[in-house]
Amino acid sequence: MPSDILEIVVIGAHPSAGVAALVAAREREKVKLLHIMPPGESHGDRLVAINPKFADLHPALSKLKRLAGLHAVHGLTFLPDTAGGRGEFVSKSPAMLVGSFATISRSVADLEREARIDRVAPRATRIERVVDDGVAMTIDGRAIVARVVLCACDLAAEEKRLLGIASQWEPGVMHRYTHMRFKPGKGVLNLPANRTVPMSLDLAGSGAWAWLLDDGETAQLATLISKNVAAGGRGEALMQRWIAQLAAHGIVAAPARLPAASSATMLELPIGGALSAETVANRTLLIGPAGGFYSACGEDIYPNCWSAVAAAKVAVAALGEPHVQDALQSYREGWGTTLGDYLRGPQQNLKLLLPLVYRNNVMAARVAEAILFGESVVR
């Protein structure tokens, strides 16, 4: 049975996959493009911090500048384990936007529909082999060949082997992200008047980071810790410790009225995974979650979609080259010199800096800017 030849196939349900499809369609008129939503892939919903420059990543995303439901945050407030001093960074303009992951996903999907991108959700899809023209696949029995694949999702072990994708992440990459979203009743929270995000950089001396996000209607407690450090049940224990710390600082006024820490949801995220992984495979570029494009503080939408923009541009350019695989190699260098710095976050030993952060707002600002904007603490 002859195969349909497609120029670019995007695989994944994450918003970064939709962004890749949108950018490819904008960069190359009448590109033969297909976006596959893999069966069973789900990212659920949670509050996420979004860089205000998200919609500026590419003209194809410009309509997202008017996206409703995003709550502006103007900085970070760093809290020690016990009540007392704290460090603050406050910006005149929004330092981040807080919104729903599901809202971002729907908005990107709406843009794909407006652009008339072929977006399918098959019952079964499989990567069969790498051929001279690209990657041979079957989708509900339909045979296709993709000249370039942009992959934003995890693949089966055999599919990874065929494409030359590593079977696992480097040690220290995987982190446990625990989050608990709720609708706070009256008097439960006493959020900072300067519209900053309360944050811990060393929760209970564990090395874990923790946040309290809110979007004006709901709030979310979250912790992030390396799996090398986390033990069984560690997510729940850290969540309880974070609630206690917020209560000690008067930010949680009624801890007993919060949901039980045992109701929290745990995810495993490859934090900064792209920095130690190979993101160029056989006729395939890894983007978003598949490439490990999470910043040091677990930021999802902006760095994952940034990688998608970079990959789509490289893929479109590679289609016009005689040796497509060789042309795809520029993806690595392209994101490495820009997005790579953003992913790294603070490189210094934060435990040594924390005493300064709590009593010196200049140092607090530098650490905050490293977390929020990827800038260096040392200047």
Sequence letter at residue 230: A
Fold of 73-96+174-270+346-373: D-Amino Acid Oxidase; Chain A, domain 2 (3.30.9)
pLDDT at 23: 98
The one-character DSSP state at 3 is: P
Angle, helices 15-27 vs 301-319, to 10°: value is: 30
Degrees to nearest 5, angle at CA 164 with 161 and 168: 70
**pLDDT category of residue 341 using cuts at 50, 70 and 90:** confident
The reply to whether CATH 3.50.50.60 applies to domain 4-39+121-170+271-343 is yes
Q: How crowded is residue 66: how many other Cβ atoms within 10 Å of its Cβ?
A: 9
Calculate mean pLDDT across residues 11-18: 98
The C-alpha torsion from 181 through 217 and 49 to 363, rounded to 10°, is -100
Q: In this predicted model, which residue has the larger pLDDT, 235 or 2?
A: 235
Q: In this predicted model, which residue has the larger pLDDT, 351 or 308?
A: 308
Structure token digits, residue 295: 């910043």
Q: Is the pLDDT of residue 1 over 50?
A: no
Calculate mean pLDDT across residues 111-116: 97
Structure token digits, residue 103: 């809202």
Question: By C-alpha distance, which of 269, 298, 276 is closest to 372?
Answer: 298
The percent of residues above 70 in pLDDT, for the chain, comes to: 97
Is 358 strand, coil or helix? helix
d(CA 219, CA 91): 21
Q: Range(s) for CATH 3.50.50.60 in the chain?
A: 4-39+121-170+271-343
Q: Range(s) for CATH 3.30.9 in the chain?
A: 73-96+174-270+346-373
Question: By C-alpha distance, which of 310, 163, 179, 165 is closest to 238?
Answer: 179
Q: Is the pLDDT of residue 236 over 90?
A: no
pLDDT at 227: 86
Contact 279, 165 (CB under 8 A): no
The pTM of the full predicted model, rounded to 2 decimals, is 0.94
Is 159 strand, coil or helix? helix
Calculate mean pLDDT across residues 313-335: 96
pLDDT at 361: 87
Q: Is the pLDDT of residue 67 over 90?
A: no
Q: Is the pLDDT of residue 330 over 90?
A: yes
Close Cβ partners of 313 (under 8 Å, ≥ 6 residues apart): 23, 27, 334
pLDDT at 319: 97
